Amino acid sequence: MTVHLLQALHDALTVVADQLGTLPPSPAPTRGAGSGLQLPDAPPAPPAELTAYFQRVVGGGKWIALAIALLSMIYAGTKMMAGKSNRSNLAADGAASIPWIFGGIAVVMSAASIIMFMVGS
């Protein structure tokens, strides 16, 4: 039952594709162990204007992340300076946040690089 339905669907799509002339004719279904209807697989290709917009969004995200990192470093340094005398917990909290800031910078920059590599720019 399912094979007949798929064959009828394939025949209908082939007729429509041939009439329109814009689609290549679909390949004939192969009958074999584990193989079904073989469809063409087109490689992904983003539109040029979308690629430029995506690059601007990623660049803006990197800029915002670096601005937040700068403000975080200033805040951590201020906490360390304010906690220097008789407030050791405040100074320790400021010092402990510095590795987290650098870790966040590393994650944001590597994520942006990986994304732009995958986009193909």
User: According to the model, what pLDDT value does residue 70 have?
Assistant: 94
93 CB contacts (<8 Å, ≥6 apart)?
79, 83
- What ranges make up the beta strands (E) of 1-121? none
pLDDT in tens, the chain (121 residues): 677 777 777 787 777 766 666 555 566 655 555 556 666 777 777 777 787 888 888 889 889 999 999 999 999 999 888 887 777 888 888 899 999 999 999 998 898 888 878 776 5
The answer to whether the pTM exceeds 0.75 is: no
With beta carbons less than 8 A apart as the criterion, state whether 37 and 6 touch.
Answer: yes
